[in-house]
Structure 1
Amino acid sequence: MSAVVWLLVIGFGLLLLMDVPIAVAIAIATFLCIFASGGDATYTVALKMANGIDSFTLLAIPFFILSGLLMGQGGIARRLIDFAAACVGRFPGGLAYVNTLTCMLFGSISGSAAAAVSSVGGFMIPEMNRKGYPRDFNVALTVTSATTGLIIPPSNIMIVYAVAAGGVSIVGLFLAGIVPGILVGLCLMSVCFFWAKGRKLEREPAVSWSELLSSFVRAVPSLLLVIVVIGGILGGIFTATEAAAIAVAYAFVLAVLVYREVKLADLPAILLKGAVTTSVVMLLIGASSGMSWLLTTQNVPQQVSTSLLAMSDNPFVILLAINLLLLAVGTFMDMTPAVLIFTPIFLPVVVELGMDPLQFGIVMITNLCVGLCTPPVGTCLFLGCGVGKTTIAKVTPSLLPFFFAMIVALLLITYLPGLSLWIPSLFGKG
């Protein structure tokens, strides 16, 4: 690698060690490298950051963020918990299954893992504590289950990947994430199954068919959001960006007019929170776009591709190496910059190996979801410990089996293309 790349890596690493916010660290490291190479650093960084967010597709992100916030405060989680409890609560360790299933449902509706930890965990963790489930297990389960919402569509990070990959269908990505997201949820539930065996845990009362139907009817308005978004896009009624705006309108009607758990007086605070969250995401995208451009001009993607392909002619080995690298990246970098920076580096390699860009997008997102549950930048882990009133040190032993389950799911998604490509191929989006 060139001296500029080494300066970028060292400078970025030092800034992270100094606890500089990651977006600022990326921008400063990029600025220093361009300045050191004799370029107009101020103009170039500003231009690349502006161009990085100048995309109609990215307009979907603030809309999905706002719809997620409305869903999070609109009573949706409570209704989904009731429905999940009616479905799986009667089994041994039933509340663990309820937690996972609710996180999958709520995460897919809100598109936010953090929202799932806060909304679902805020109710389920205390409830599981009260029913005799260990606190640290409850937090570990919630934290890992919440990440399924980033794999099951609609998902903001899929939009970011589509922009970074260039020419990848957002609709195809949405469809490609359905089976892998369910697979991750089932793997987490399998841990709950083996954990619950032999333990005397209080079971939820069995419900009648009429009660199950009643809970389903109460949850239907919330669940319809996914059908409206995905169905509308597939039917050609609106684009992914327009679907995000439809999601906001639907969430508003549901939370304010139907469930009436969000008051008109609450909207300014929700809009402000949405604006702040959007600004953080867009700053990350802009800064990462600048670093990605710098790495491309230094031929880093080509060098990495050549090195990986020279390391072995076995696709199994190369894909395993890429997964290990991404797992390492996920421990210290947020998902958005990781996707924007490493997609241009690794995508040419996997395409050379014959992997479909849709499948690689799901592999990358699933991989980086593990990083949300690990220190030092595990957003979901820190949030879950705050909600569960415990510490990372106490939760970590309980996290390990769930990490193993997520890795098993990741390997299956990596080496079984049909898991990701089956549904897109049915709709001609593969």
Structure 2
Amino acid sequence: MAFIAGLILILSFTILLMIGVPIAISIGLASIVTMMFIFPFDVSIFTVAQKMISGLDSFSLLAVPFFILSGLIMNNGGIAVRLINLSKVLTGRLPGSLDHTNVIGNILFGSISGSSVASAAAIGSIMTPMQSKEGYDRKYSAAVNIASSSAGLLIPPSGTMIIYSLVSGGTSIAALFLAGYLPGILWGLATIIVSYIIAKKKNYPVSSGLTVKQGLKVFVEAIPSLLLIVIVIGGIIAGIFTATEGAAVAVLYSFILSMFYKTLKLKDIPSIVKESVELTSIIMLLIGASASLSFVMSFTGIPEALTEAMLSISDNPIIILLLMNVVLLLIGTFLDITPAVLIFTPIFLPIVTEFGIDPVHFGIILILNLCIGNITPPVGGPLFVGCSIANVEMEDVIKPLMPYYLALVVVLLIVTYFPQLSMLLPDLILSR
């Protein structure tokens, strides 16, 4: 039954996507069609609807709209400029220093906003004109911005990690947050190394340095923005508040900070709230539809069948993880991060647990794969935004992006096969 149900599910889902049906609707309809293989139409409809509603009945999910609202407030609140100024100080007088500024700016802003698209837009809109003025090729500038835009998704606070925690059956959010730091930093270092090599080869200019006094002033101005990470993550890890309460604190703090900077006007609030409601609605519909899909797969035994199939190929965890990475990288090129996490967590998690792989470690592997796919054609929000800001065609940035893709795949393999990198901070701080 599992084979036939899986075939019906895949075919119906693929056909719906190919004819242009929105992904959330495609997931829901594919679930109904698959259920009809077992039950009558009315029972199938009722079951899928019930599972969609129960899938949203979670206190942890309240963190998602709060983090979305916080990110939108920051994106409109002038925080990006201060983080870029800090990045200039940190990059010093390195060759191609504006490239490194772009990378660090994306890491800092992405980790605070929790959005790769917002990061690519906020940092890219400031850095790309600066790089162009200094003689940098616009295609290359777009590539740097795109390649570094998703690094912040691995560094908390991360809404994606909260969604993974929910789908995986309650994996510790604090542990996931801590586990993302070193892989996220490694992503940033990899893009900086590639940028350094290219900058040396192309002889890109070095930015003028700042005096110690100027550097200290920039650092002091950026401290309030950086404190958001300390307050939210520190509070969650210390047990002062939950991830949901931390997200609400992030909204309040980012609002107060933006008003303090006088870059956010009260008249902007309605449009920001409206946009956050629209984004939240899309994500919640995806989560509800994916909850019904998870039930259908579980009921028909699809995950167990896939586990047996993969184990029949090899019982070597190295080979299994390599196969998963290949599948997830391909999936990430045409499926957005949130639906991919919702769909593939219940499929792959039972397989990795068979080999004793920690769900926290697998969560980082999953998200890292999808973050790379998020900046890879043909689909990817940061890819479209980065090209649009730099006013270049997508096909023109593929060549300059290739060295970054190679470096990020190396990072992926390191994170996959050296779990200590992900598990060091959770084990050290949470005494797991």
Specify the TM-score bucket, using the shorter chain as the normaliser. over 0.9
CA shift, 1:51, in A, is 1.2
Structure 1 residues 15 and 376: alpha-carbon distance in aligned structure 2, compared to 1, 3 A threshold: farther
- Tell me which amino acid in the other structure corresponds to 1:420: S
* Equivalent position of 2:98 in the other structure: 95
For residue 136 of structure 2, give the secondary structure of its aligned residue in structure 1: coil
In 2, Cα distance between the equivalents of 1:49 and 1:390?
41
TM-score normalised according to structure 1 size: 0.97
1:149 aligned partner? 152
1:320 paired with 2:322, answer yes
The aligned counterpart of 2:403 is 401
- Separation of aligned partners in 2, 1:215 and 1:48: 51
Q: Deviations over 1:70-117 (max 9, x none)?
A: 111100000000110112142101011000000000011111111101
- The equivalent of 1:33 in structure 2 is 34
For structure 1, the residue ranges without an aligned partner over 5 or more in a row are: none
Which deviates the most, 72-81 or 88-97? 88-97
Alignment-derived partner of residue 50 in structure 1: 53
Note the 1:375-386 alignment, pairs <5 A: 375-386=377-388
TM-aligned CA deviation for residue 429 of structure 1: 5.3
- Residue in 2 that maps onto 1:341: 343
* 1:248 to 2:236 alignment: no
Work out the CA distance in 2 between the residues paired with 1:263 and 1:23: 34
Between 239-248 and 312-321, the greater mean CA deviation after superposition: 312-321
User: Which sections of structure 2, spanning at least 5 residues, go unmatched?
Assistant: none
2:111 aligned partner: 108
Q: Does 1:59 align with 2:62?
A: yes
Q: Deviations over 1:171-220 (max 9, x none)?
A: 00000000110001101111101111132322211112221111110100
Q: Separation in 2 of the partners of 1:35 and 1:307?
A: 25
The separation in 2 between residues aligned to 1:138 and 1:20, in whole angstroms, is 34
For residues 195 and 368 of structure 1, the distance between their equivalents in structure 2, rounded to whole angstroms, comes to 26
Secondary structure at the residue paired with 1:225?
helix
Q: Equivalent residue for 2:291?
A: 289
Aligned match of 1:6: 7
| Residues 7-28 of structure 1: CA deviation (Å, up to 9, x unaligned) | 1111111111112211111112
User: Structure 1 residues 289 and 429 mapped into 2: Cα distance closer, same or farther (>3 Å)?
Assistant: farther
Answer whether contact 1:121 1:142 (CA < 8 A) is retained: yes
- Residue 197 of structure 1 aligns to a residue in which SS? helix
- 1:313 deviates by 2.3
Shift of 1:383: 1.6
1:205 aligns with 2:193: no
- 1:288 and 1:380 mapped to 2: Cα distance? 24
Distance in 1 separating the partners of 2:298 and 2:390: 43
| 1:287 shift after superposition | 1.0
Counterpart residue identity of residue 2, structure 1: F
Residue pair 1:171, 1:429 contacting (<8 A) in 2 also:
no
1:167 maps to: 170
Q: SS state of the match for residue 50, structure 1?
A: helix
Q: 2:275 aligns with which of 264, 273, 276?
A: 273
User: What's the TM-score, normalizing by structure 2?
Assistant: 0.97
Q: Distance in 2 between matches of 1:87 and 1:285?
A: 39
SS at structure 2 position matched to 1:90:
coil
Amino acid at match of 2:418: L
1:30-82 per-position Cα deviation (integer Å, ceiling 9, x unaligned): 12222343342221221111111111001000000000001111000000001
Counterpart of 1:123 in structure 2 is 126
Map Cα deviations across residues 344-398 of structure 1 (whole Å, 9 max, x no partner).
Answer: 1111211221211111000000000011112332111112111221111111111
Residues 100 and 340 of structure 1: CA distance in aligned 2, closer, same or farther (over 3 Å): same
Residue of structure 2 equivalent to 1:263: 265
Choose which of 78, 87, 99 in structure 2 pairs with 1:75: 78
| Equivalent residue number for residue 308 of structure 1 | 310
Q: Secondary structure at the match of 2:36?
A: helix
| Preserved contact between residue 89 and residue 97 of structure 1 (Cα < 8 Å) | no
Tell me if structure 1 keeps the 8 A contact 2:3–2:302.
no
Aligned letter for 1:282? M
The answer to whether 1:194 aligns with 2:197 is yes
Note if contact 2:374-2:380 (Cα within 8 Å) is conserved in structure 1: yes
Alpha-carbon displacement from aligned partner over 1:265-287 (angstroms, at most 9, x marks no partner): 11000000010011111111111
Aligned match of 1:425? 427
For residues 408 and 385 of structure 2, the distance between their equivalents in structure 1, rounded to whole angstroms, comes to 19
| Percent of aligned pairs with the same amino acid | 46
Aligned mates of 1:276, 1:26 — CA distance in 2: 19
State the alpha-carbon separation in 2 of the partners of residues 10 and 196 from structure 1. Answer: 47
Quote the residue 1:389 is aligned against.
Answer: 391
Runs of 4+ in structure 1 deviating by more than 3 angstroms, as ranges, are none
Q: Which amino acid aligns with 2:343?
A: I
